Amino acid sequence: MPAKSESSRQHFERLLSTSEGVEELAGRLAGGEAPRPPRFPGGTRLDADAVAKRWTALDADASVRERLLGEGGVVDPQAYSRNIENFVGAVQVPVGVAGPLRVNGVFARGDFHVPLATTEAALVASYHRGARLLTAAGGASSALVNEAVNRSPAFAFRTIAEAGKFLHWALSQLDRMKAIVSESSRYARLLDFGATGEGNHIYLNLEFTTGDASGQNMVTLATQRICDFLLAGSPVAPRRAYVEGNLSGDKKASAQAFNSVRGKKVIAEVALPAPLVQRHLHATPEEMVDYWRMSALGGVLSGTIGVQGHFANGLAALFIACGQDPACVAESAVGVTRFELAEDGALYAAVTLPSLMLGTVGGGTGLPTQRACLELMGLAGEGKSGALAEVAGALVLAGELSIIGAMAAGHFARAHERRAREPRRGNHP
């Protein structure tokens, strides 16, 4: 969409006010002949000497170093050795608890106090309100209905005929590709793969399971081994080959997951009696459905992928607290919220999340504070990733109920003003 002329003119005026004119401003953008700064002493070492050299190079105020590296900032630097490069300290994010959140799941059954790490005032309070409502109703039904992590290697050929010969051969190699993955990994398993042709290009969408790990790195390594096999045995040598052709949807919102799954697909639902909705959310089921309907159309008009209120809020806070890859919120927060009025006047609410990328082993899940957050829910380690996914689904449902209730009742702005701007006094339920 082109920029509007008046807003563009005003922006250029602001830019020019910082310089002597267009030519001087252009000169800034072109850069200069200033000498290059010294090389930063990076690397993966976390010992005291390596960290001290980095801080010397930063030439920062001592108070900055104390806040990032001082007492309470880092428990044990060596605990981060597989998770960071150029280490100089750790950032603390406040953690609050929402719940207890009752989950009636296939893998998650019980009441969970869910840790949420955020700097956004009112976020934990909103999810806490929704969790209390779900628990008062007997809990949310939450089910992990599918799972697969994908990578999409891409191959470029000279002609579509060459691409066809390659694909015809590759489609007959599924069993061998499965064996290669199983022989080289304790946890990764190849389920199947699909193919997409575009001109003389072929994309293979490989689908894996990865045990209890989120699995992005695991499937990358497995895909590279598959690519090595395909390149060695193909009847037609591709001109170029890449381990990821950007078809998988990794770390970006896409509509593709709705047709299958990426990560873990979870559906959560609840039926809420009208008196319970009014008591906790100060709105009627009819008002909730009316707002949901209008907001769903607003999402369609704006071109969103999926229709929902704020999946990203709860998932980002949960991911940061529990050692997940925060960048995966970009894809995990794609989904659908649906509200309906039941025949008995109750509010039926459901959320569908087709691409939850999370795990309970690997990545940042073993870091000290992140492990503690998983342990707080009893969801640390092997055999717990399905339960974590179902808790995440129920948490998202709690957040949708709370925010839509605030919108329907006209309390949304007031709640943010009270919690984010006014001095805090006492405890707020």
pLDDT tens figures, 307-316:
999 999 999 9
Segments of 20-175 assigned E as strands: 95-105, 109-117, 140-151, 154-156
Are 45 and 169 contained in the same domain? no
382, 361 Cβ separation under 8 angstroms: yes
Distance CA 373, CA 390 (A): 16
- Closest of 245, 167, 263 to residue 207, by C-alpha: 263
Query: Residue 401 — very low, low, confident or very high, per pLDDT cuts 50/70/90?
Result: very high
Give tens-digit pLDDT for 341-351. Answer: 999 999 999 99
Task: State the chain's mean pLDDT as an integer.
Answer: 92
Distance CA 111, CA 398 (A): 14
| Catalytic, out of 325, 331, 390, 400 | 325
Are 87 and 165 contained in the same domain? no
Domain closes at, from 211, 242, 273: 242
pTM metric for this prediction: 0.91
Give tens-digit pLDDT for 315-347. Answer: 999 999 999 999 999 999 999 999 999 999 999
Q: Report the CATH number at residue 268.
A: 3.90.770.10
Give tens-digit pLDDT for 185-244. Answer: 999 999 999 999 999 999 999 999 999 999 999 999 999 999 999 999 999 999 999 999
Domain closes at, from 58, 74, 92: 92
Are 141 and 216 contained in the same domain? no
Residue 47 annotated to the active site: no
Are 335 and 285 contained in the same domain? yes
Are 69 and 206 contained in the same domain? no
Residue 113 annotated to the active site: no
Give tens-digit pLDDT for 373-387. Answer: 999 999 999 999 999
Distance CA 275, CA 102 (A): 19
Are 269 and 401 contained in the same domain? yes
Q: Is the pLDDT of residue 170 over 70?
A: yes
Are 174 and 235 contained in the same domain? yes
Least confident of 50-54, 285-289, 401-405, 414-418: 414-418
Q: Quick check: is 32 in a domain?
A: no
Q: Is the pLDDT of residue 422 over 70?
A: no
Residue 120 annotated to the active site: yes
Are 101 and 88 contained in the same domain? no
Q: Quick check: is 253 in a domain?
A: no
Give mean pLDDT, residues 277-290. Answer: 97
Distance CA 352, CA 354 (A): 6
| Catalytic, out of 113, 120, 201, 340 | 120
Are 342 and 368 contained in the same domain? yes
Domain range for 213 is: 153-242
pLDDT at 25: 75
**How many folded domains does the chain comprise?**
3
Query: Cα(first)–Cα(last) distance of the chain, in Å?
Result: 45
Are 293 and 403 contained in the same domain? yes
Are 312 and 347 contained in the same domain? yes
User: Which H or E run includes 337?
Assistant: strand 335-341
| Burial status of residue 279 (CB atoms within 10 A of its CB: 0-12, 13-18, 19 or more) | exposed
